[in-house]
Amino acid sequence: MPRPQLLCRPAAGPDEAALHHRIRHEVFVLEQEVFAASDLDAHDASDDTIKVLAWAAAPLTGWEPGGAVRLYPLEPGIWQGDRLAVLAPFRAWNLGGHLVRYAVDTAAALGGVEMVAHVQTANVRFFERLGWQRRGEEEIYVGLPHQLMSIDLTVRVGARLPARS
């Protein structure tokens, strides 16, 4: 099967914001059971939070939402990326990589100098391949082992990440 076209963009309007939350709920509440009932928190209500959706265009089905991530400023120049969620049928297409790159590029375009994320330990190598660095020791975050990671947003995008489609 040919690889689909992939597109990441901020959620447009309340319907897409609800879709963003539904994807996160499916991954973090139903599948991984990281959260008991909901993964929503105060960042979801903040106007500073950018909720991103990833779409895949399959030849027979058209555009389908397959993943989500959010990002928000922690302080001037420092951004946090979190709640990276990709639905199981879309994982083989590297939708997560596209979402991470989009979040990094968006934070950099908005004047960020660094982005941080609490990454589930099983996903640390994935983030390292995308140019992220470990910070400190493994820690418990939302009740599970995570690794704090960061990426320098001042490095030119082409120099930071290999070009991939």
Average pLDDT over residues 145-152: 97
Structure confidence at residue 143 as a pLDDT band (50, 70, 90): confident
- Residue 160 has a pLDDT of 45
Q: In angstroms, rounded to a whole number, what is the distance separating the alpha carbons of residues 30 and 7?
A: 25
| Whole-number Å distance between alpha carbons of 148 and 132 | 10
Average pLDDT, the chain: 91
**For residue 137, is pLDDT > 60?**
yes
Residues 89, 92, 97, 102: is their CA dihedral positive or negative?
negative
Give this prediction's pTM. Answer: 0.89
